[in-house]
Structure 1
Amino acid sequence: MSLHRGPTDLFHGADGKEVKTTVTAMNTFKTIADNFKNVNDVTKALQDAGVKNCGLIFGIDYTISNRMQGQKTFGGRSLHDISGPQMNPYQQVICILGETLEVLDEDRQIPAFGFGDVKTKDRDIFPLKEGIFCDGFNEVLDFYNKITPTVQLSGPTNFVPLIKEAIDIVKKTKKYHVLVIVADGQVTNEKINQDVIVEASQWPLSIVVIGVGDGPWDSMKEFDDELPARQFDNFQFVNFYETVTGAHNAYAALALNALMEIPEQYQLIKDHALLKK
């Protein structure tokens, strides 16, 4: 399945300006103005910051709430429904962010995992492609399409096993990674998820969570803007439906909001010498 479809195949979302926060070396918050107007500006900022070889990791939420979370935002269908002519939100995010970030990944080897199904529940993750990483975002999409009809949804929602796996990948590869988690709702145990996000800030890893479905998203916003114990603000939350609904260019709107903080995050990673770990 290709990304190149008409704009009516994508939801469209609001372009509201937000002020984000990050943590300085003195562990105090400072505001980050959203100064970028388009994806090219962000890409240039990434290049100016020295991001040349960036790994990409995908995580897909297979909790049972996906069946109900499309009541308002996906025509009442399961968010994992792949039977219709329109791409579901998971497929759209894989295409948009996969294509945007893949240009920064020299080897194009993308670890992609599912979590929250009947086998892993909140304790583990499973690879979309057994044994080896996916070769580019198109293969991530192909394997998502292949396995999704066979996955039994369960839960509860827990990012901890996925974030710990991402930390292990960073340790092994010794390079900066962006972990993209596509999820339909709140985590069940906020405390353990907060702790692992703080732990992840000790490593050259950015976490971008794309919230698909109806929400609510209160804890995701808290993870984004609070948790001052972190070395740096390593977590960005984007509400998929709000971002792309009404946007002139839904593709650019999602990519822009997802990547907005990464240039400064990467600079802070260098400032804290996390790449040398």
Structure 2
Amino acid sequence: IFVVKNNLNPTWKPFRIPLQSLCGGDMDKHIKVECYDYDNDGSHDLIGIFETTMTRLQEASRTSPAEFECINSKKQQKKKGYKNSGVVSVKLCQVVKEYTFLDYIMGGCQINFTVGIDFTGSNGDPKSPQSLHYISPQGVNEYLSAIWSVGMVIQDYDSDKMFPAFGFGAQIPPTWQVSHEFPLNFNPANPFCAGIEGVVEAYRVCLPQVKLYGPTNFSPIINNVARVAMQATQQKTATQYFVLLIITDGVITDLDQTRSAIVNASRLPMSIIIIGVGGADFTAMEFLDGDDGRLRAPTGETAARDIVQFVPFRQFQNAPREALAQSVLAELPGQVVSYFSIHKLKPPHDPESQPSAPSASAL
């Protein structure tokens, strides 16, 4: 139901209806359209009715609208010379094939995951059992649990299963300068780890070799992945999408720079998943997640779309591993589809199967 109030010559906003719901996919099936005078108490008065088909509606174009007379049968019977109770003019009607996340994946789109791990001092001394980086006698900590839980799912979407993995916020050998983006394997020329097992092994080897420090800057690693994503846009195809997985204790220093980096990345084939470990105040992380409205940069520039998903790990510590992964990846399919849809990019190889929800959009 589409309502325009207090207007005798309403112009309705564009809307979309699944073609299956509208006419069962039959372009020549009759569609009944009823037009009412809206009343707040619900006793809407019928203005008139007309019937059409999708074939007829598609004849509408920006230069030549399709017009339909609304007929009220009661008025038609009572009034001599009755013509109609108004005319509905359809300015544009298109059948748009809407692709799903699965269409893009099966059509050849590659999801590229990069992992970023927080090595700042706020995590605590790794030698202390109170530290989030302390590896227990059982060989686990919250960072490792988060990497395993999410990684075992995301690697199924990464075709080559080679993950660039970085740390940030630590002093690293041999100069002991603070780095906000260092390869876990200490190989800048090839920061890739083979599978999630490779990321876990690189983390275990890296941890005792660095000194946790600070500050906690997210923007360098976000901007790094964004540069790679920017290069991929030159192909003007839906072949590459990039996901940055940040695991952090939640304390962030460069919030303004991070906001700007996210707003910039929102215009690229890129998403950011943030997993908060420990019991810190995650207000800043929740702020970066655009669920309550699109994020704004300090300059006032608004994100083109919501690309950040934040999940507090502690809410899933006693839940099955699949529950965390499901929550972490809940928004990713929609984010992938939204980017390619905005840029009108089809799957590299159009899947033979029809999309699950084709739509007709009318104006």
* Coarse TM-score class (shorter-chain normalised): 0.7 to 0.9
| Root mean square deviation of aligned Cα | 2.3
Partner residue of 1:209 out of 274, 278, 286:
274
CA displacement at 1:214 relative to structure 2: 1.0
1:105 aligns with 2:162: no
Partner of 1:125: 181
How far off is 1:64 after superposition? 0.2
| Number of aligned residue pairs | 223
Find the aligned partners of 1:165 and 1:268 in 2 and give their Cα distance.
22
Query: Tell me, which stretches of 5 or more residues in structure 2 are unaligned?
Result: 1-99, 234-239, 297-301, 347-363
Q: State the AA in 2 paired with 1:126.
A: F
**Mapping of 1:55-70 within 5 angstroms?**
55-67=112-124
Q: Is the 8 A contact 2:125 2:134 kept in 1?
A: no
CA distance in 1, matches of 2:270, 2:241: 6
Helix, strand or coil for the counterpart of 1:103?
coil
> 1:1-277 counterparts in 2 under 5 A?
46-48=101-103, 50=105, 52-67=109-124, 77-119=130-172, 121=178, 124-129=180-185, 130=187, 131-132=189-190, 133-173=192-232, 175-225=240-290, 226=293, 227=295, 229-242=302-315, 244-247=316-319, 249=320, 251-273=321-343
Q: Distance in 1 between matches of 2:249 and 2:345?
A: 32
Task: Indicate conservation of the 8 Å contact 1:201/1:230, yes or no.
Answer: yes
Q: Between Structure 1 and Structure 2, which shows a larger proportion of helix residues?
A: 1
CA separation of 1:252/1:212 partners in 2, compared to 1, >3 Å: closer, same or farther?
Answer: same
- Structure showing greater radius of gyration is 2
Structure 2 distance, partners of 1:147, 1:275, is 40
Q: Deviations over 1:127-170 (max 9, x none)?
A: 01213111111101111011111110001111000001111222
Residues 85-121 of structure 1 deviation map (CA, whole Å, 9 limit, x = unaligned): 1511111111121110111111112100000002464
Distance 1:68-1:253 versus aligned 2 partners, 3 A rule: farther
Q: Confirm or deny: 8 A CA contact 1:204 1:275 kept in the other structure.
A: no
- Single out whichever of 225-234 and 161-170 deviates more from structure 2: 225-234
* TM-score, normalised via structure 2 length: 0.57
Give yes or no for contact 1:63–1:154 (8 Å, CA) kept in 2: yes
Structure with bigger RCO (C-alpha 8 Å, 6+ apart): 1
Deviations 1:39-94 (A, max 9, x none): xxxxxx7425547421110000000000179xxxxx95211112421511111111
CA contact (8 A) 2:123 2:131 kept: yes
